[in-house]
Chain A
Amino acid sequence: MPEPDGTAATAGPAPAAAIRVVLADDSVLFREGLARVLAENGFMVAGQAGDADGLHAAVEREMPDVVVTDIRMPPTNTSEGLVAAQRIRAEHPGTGVLVLSQYVETRQAVKLLQNAPHRVGYLLKDRVSDIAEFTDAVRRIARGASVIDPEVVAQLLRRRGDDSALAGLTSRERDILALMAQGRSNRAIGERLFLSPKTVETHVGAIFTKLGLLPAADDHRRVLAVITYLRSA
């Protein structure tokens, strides 16, 4: 798969390799703030919208690499962002979508992933205040990864509780499972836990064996597998 950030034609003040982003949120203040954060961190904000219709128009016009959208927007203020995400992923396979929400619900995360297993993200809205984490999430989605809010993963792990298969994991393996579910690559997991990529790979293999899962082809595709596993009672 060609890396979009490598091939996208860009214009304006952003660097040539800048990731092109379209923002959608009905709060102008928040949208403007987000646009500034992204611009200051080397992204190119190609368009902004206040509702789902505006978002689709901007996507058609700009063909961005990533869309960052609020889940609740006019006219119904329910889950327009989620519906828009599914439509954008279906109509523009090259465009990733990051959905932000004031609340995270496992069900919505799973729905999003099931419709488009990669190049999607689902994060709590206030995660944007951790600028490094947020911009990293947008970059990972642009590269084809999926990003799931740690809160969703924590909920899933908590619900599985004393499940026998999960109980067989070491606490290190559980940490790695959680990071995999959030959409982290082996390399990122290694950096975070101060482990060598080789060690991470060994742990991942052990986790998949213990849970009886088939090894995923690549880091990007295993999010759905892990989330689905955690969700199945």
Chain B
Amino acid sequence: MTRRRWGLLALGVAVAGWIIGGEWVSIRQHVPENHLIDALGGLSFLVAGLVALDRRPHNRIGWLMIAYAVVSYFGNWGNLQAPVVPMIGLIGQQLGGPILAQMVLSYPTGRLRTRFERFTIGTIWAFAIGVGVVIALAFDPRADGCTRCAWEPAAFPDKNAVLTALLAGQRAGFFVYLLFLAAVWVRWRRATPAERRDLAPLWVAVVIYVLVGLMGAFASPDTTGQPFAYLVWELQSVLQIGLPIVFVWGLLSARLARSAVGDLVLELDRPLLPGELRARLARTLGDPSLEVLYAREGLDGWVDGGGQPGTLPETASGPRARAVTVVERDGQPLAALIHDPALDQGLVRAAAAAAGMAIENERLQAEVRAQLEEVRASRQRIVEAGDAERRRVERNLHDGAQQRMATLALALAMLRDRASGDAAMAASLDQAAAELKQAIAELRELARGIHPAILTEEGLPAAVEALADRSFLPVQVRANFDERLPGPIEATAYFVVSESLANVAKYARASRARVALSRCDRMLRVEVTDDGIGGADSSRGSGLRGLEDRVAAVRGSFRVETPPGGGTRVLAEIPCDA
């Protein structure tokens, strides 16, 4: 037996003691009523509440039932001839109605859903508390026959006043009953046919109970007075015994769950959007926190519906504990449902079985997505390795060949200075210097094309600005940020701009171009437009294709709009945290 069950058992024993004790007080004080029926009403609520708490630990209905059982016997204990007790008894008794009303209206989840329902329950509570306040102000236990009540708490000690107030309250209660009936009616109107079918017996019981309750304004436990009033009183008590049984039967009803699983089968009988299966399962099982992970094909490990790796939670206890139900097929794990441990295992299995085909489909899709993601990640690593290599080559050129050639140019220049007397030598040296100068310029352009130093040093906007500076047609650059971005993103965006501007210069016959760099919502947007002839062909050369690949490698999107005669627009959108 779990700790929770021991706790529930202890609670049951305590509340049962309270009920039987209260009944015993009534017997001792010769209260005129049927003590067996009176006690059975409370015990029925108690047992139903305990069963509900045991089977549906996260449903509040069980607590409401037990609370109802407890407050119902305040009245009995109030018969005890002791100071203050009669008053507490009278006040406590008033709380039964609100609890019962809340139980009915919040059935079967234990939660109120609409503002009107909350208003109704609030009004009922306010009414009950108001009656309690009247009692506290006016009740005089000695006037009520309590001979041992030394303490005198009443502000207006007048037995008639109390009786009048309580009677008035009871009559006003009629309207509160009407409000409550209205709320029940609205719920009925808004319920789906399936809900109506499942909840119908409960509502019939409630309506009868309330009707009897309305008559209850005229009920009396006095067997000797009016026979009709006594009959109503007994009818109420019997219904009180039956009501919790209907409640708990409905709560545990396999029919409710089965009908939800049946709905699930119907819902899954069509193509699902990504993530929809999880949402449907979560709704069917009533666990919004439900997660679904799929087993990898031939690999250890799990992925979510999007193909992202996930891990099964550790088995733990406490409020954050999660239960894992593994769905298998031919002994191979297919998927894992990670859910609230309070969920009924049978229901989870039934739902998983109902969703079997959809789960298998989703698993295949997740598998494909996971593989695609792996390919994308490896492509990104290849691109990044390429970029790192480019940076290394550029640095080697800068520190090696370029530096040596600059030194060589200087040495040649000094030689040339000394050879000014020898015309032939001077001419040769001049020619060598000119060749060297050309080589230096070519090497510089080569190094810059491999990886521009300014991109590493000053970031994307500066590097794009430098591209525009060297472009042979006017290029307007707009950037709405100046901060640094992760290296792979800067490099990708830079090559988009540089390749696009190169294309503009080569093919577009444009008179000007525009580059816009903007960041918003963690997306970097790179847009290169020109006013040229359009009609750019991405199959011609590898330029645009290569760009598309590069952008895709960092999870970006790449688009070329190039209507004939309408200029070309290259647009890349790259997530900044890729």
Spell out A's residues near B (CB within 8 Å). 26-27, 29-30, 33-34, 36-37, 40, 72, 77-79, 102-103, 105-108, 125-126, 128-131, 155-156, 158-163, 233
User: 25 pairs across A/B with beta carbons < 8 Å?
Assistant: A26-B399, A27-B399, A30-B406, A33-B410, A37-B413, A37-B414, A77-B395, A102-B398, A105-B454, A106-B465, A106-B466, A108-B454, A128-B406, A128-B409, A129-B409, A129-B410, A129-B412, A129-B433, A131-B414, A131-B417, A155-B470, A158-B472, A160-B474, A162-B474, A162-B511
CA distance in complex: A163, B512 (Å):
12
Residues in B whose Cβ lies below 8 Å from that of A30: 403, 406-407, 410
Residues in A whose Cβ lies below 8 Å from that of B444: 102-103
Q: Which of A30, A34, A103: most chain B Cβ within 10 A?
A: A103
* Secondary structure call for the B interface: helix
Given known pairs A33-B407, A128-B409, A130-B413, the reply for A106 and B473 (CB within 8 Å) is no
CA distance in complex: A233, B470 (Å):
15
Q: Which are the 4 A-B pairs with shortest beta-carbon distances? A: A129-B409, A161-B474, A33-B410, A78-B457
**Which of these, B405, B452, B457, B473, contacts A79 with CB under 8 Å?**
B457
- For chain B, residues 449 to 499, give those with C-beta under 8 angstroms from any C-beta of chain A: 452-454, 456-458, 462, 465-466, 468-476
CA distance in complex: A155, B405 (Å):
24
Residue of A nearest to B453 (CB): A103
Residues in B whose Cβ lies below 8 Å from that of A102: 398, 402-403, 406, 444, 447, 453
Residues in B whose Cβ lies below 8 Å from that of A77: 395, 399
Given known pairs A102-B444, A106-B469, A161-B474, the reply for A72 and B453 (CB within 8 Å) is yes
Residues in A whose Cβ lies below 8 Å from that of B208: none
Contact indicator A27/B403 (Cβ below 8 Å): yes
Q: Which of A30, A126, A161: most chain B Cβ within 10 A?
A: A126
CA distance in complex: A131, B511 (Å):
39
Given known pairs A40-B417, A126-B440, A155-B469, the reply for A233 and B410 (CB within 8 Å) is no
Q: Is B411 among interface residues, defined by CB-CB distance under 8 A?
A: yes
* Secondary structure call for the A interface: helix
**Which of these, B398, B407, B476, B512, contacts A72 with CB under 8 Å?**
B398
Q: Is B448 among interface residues, defined by CB-CB distance under 8 A?
A: yes
Q: Is B437 among interface residues, defined by CB-CB distance under 8 A?
A: yes
Shortest Cβ distance from B121 into chain A, in angstroms?
A: 67
Residues in B whose Cβ lies below 8 Å from that of A155: 469-470
Shortest Cβ distance from A216 into chain B, in angstroms?
A: 24
Contact indicator A105/B466 (Cβ below 8 Å): yes
Residue of B nearest to A70 (CB): B403
Residues in A whose Cβ lies below 8 Å from that of B413: 37, 128-131
- For chain B, residues 157 to 194, give those with C-beta under 8 angstroms from any C-beta of chain A: none
**Which of these, B414, B440, B470, contacts A40 with CB under 8 Å?**
B414
Residues in A whose Cβ lies below 8 Å from that of B406: 30, 102, 125-126, 128-129
Shortest Cβ distance from A1 into chain B, in angstroms?
A: 32
Chain B interface residue count, CB cutoff 8 Å, equals 44
- For chain B, residues 237 to 280, give those with C-beta under 8 angstroms from any C-beta of chain A: none
Shortest Cβ distance from A86 into chain B, in angstroms?
A: 15
Spell out B's residues near A (CB within 8 Å). 395, 398-399, 402-407, 409-414, 417, 433, 436-437, 440-441, 444, 447-448, 452-454, 456-458, 462, 465-466, 468-476, 511-512
Residue of B nearest to A26 (CB): B399
Residue of B nearest to A29 (CB): B407
CA distance in complex: A233, B468 (Å):
12
Residues in A whose Cβ lies below 8 Å from that of B452: 103
Contact indicator A159/B471 (Cβ below 8 Å): yes
Residues in A whose Cβ lies below 8 Å from that of B458: 79, 107
CA distance in complex: A162, B452 (Å):
28
Residues in A whose Cβ lies below 8 Å from that of B436: 129
**Which of these, B411, B412, B414, B468, contacts A159 with CB under 8 Å?**
B468
CA distance in complex: A128, B407 (Å):
9
**Which of these, B399, B414, B469, contacts A33 with CB under 8 Å?**
B414
Shortest Cβ distance from A164 into chain B, in angstroms?
A: 12
CA distance in complex: A103, B394 (Å):
12
Contact indicator A107/B410 (Cβ below 8 Å): no
Shortest Cβ distance from A13 into chain B, in angstroms?
A: 18
CA distance in complex: A77, B394 (Å):
12
Residues in B whose Cβ lies below 8 Å from that of A33: 407, 410-411, 414
Residues in B whose Cβ lies below 8 Å from that of A125: 402, 406
Shortest Cβ distance from A231 into chain B, in angstroms?
A: 9
Residues in A whose Cβ lies below 8 Å from that of B409: 126, 128-129
CA distance in complex: A72, B395 (Å):
11
Residues in B whose Cβ lies below 8 Å from that of A162: 474, 511
Contact indicator B469/A128 (Cβ below 8 Å): no
Residues in A whose Cβ lies below 8 Å from that of B403: 27, 30, 102
Residues in A whose Cβ lies below 8 Å from that of B448: 103
CA distance in complex: A44, B438 (Å):
31
Residue of B nearest to A233 (CB): B476
10 new A-B contacts, CB < 8 A, other than A33-B414, A108-B454, A126-B441, are A72-B398, A72-B453, A78-B453, A78-B457, A103-B454, A105-B466, A107-B454, A107-B469, A131-B414, A161-B473
Residue of B nearest to A124 (CB): B444
Residue of B nearest to A78 (CB): B457
Contact indicator A159/B454 (Cβ below 8 Å): no
Residue of A nearest to B474 (CB): A161
Residues in B whose Cβ lies below 8 Å from that of A156: 469
Residues in A whose Cβ lies below 8 Å from that of B462: 105, 107
Residues in A whose Cβ lies below 8 Å from that of B474: 159-163
CA distance in complex: A131, B410 (Å):
8
Shortest Cβ distance from B183 into chain A, in angstroms?
A: 68
Residue of B nearest to A151 (CB): B470
Residue of A nearest to B473 (CB): A161
Shortest Cβ distance from A82 into chain B, in angstroms?
A: 9
Residues in B whose Cβ lies below 8 Å from that of A26: 399
Contact indicator B410/A37 (Cβ below 8 Å): yes
CA distance in complex: A128, B413 (Å):
9
Residues in B whose Cβ lies below 8 Å from that of A131: 413-414, 417
Residue of A nearest to B402 (CB): A102
**Which of these, A79, A105, A126, contacts B469 with CB under 8 Å?**
A105
CA distance in complex: A105, B470 (Å):
9
**Which of these, B440, B466, B473, B511, contacts A107 with CB under 8 Å?**
B466
Contact indicator A78/B456 (Cβ below 8 Å): yes
Residues in B whose Cβ lies below 8 Å from that of A29: 404, 407
Residue of B nearest to A33 (CB): B410
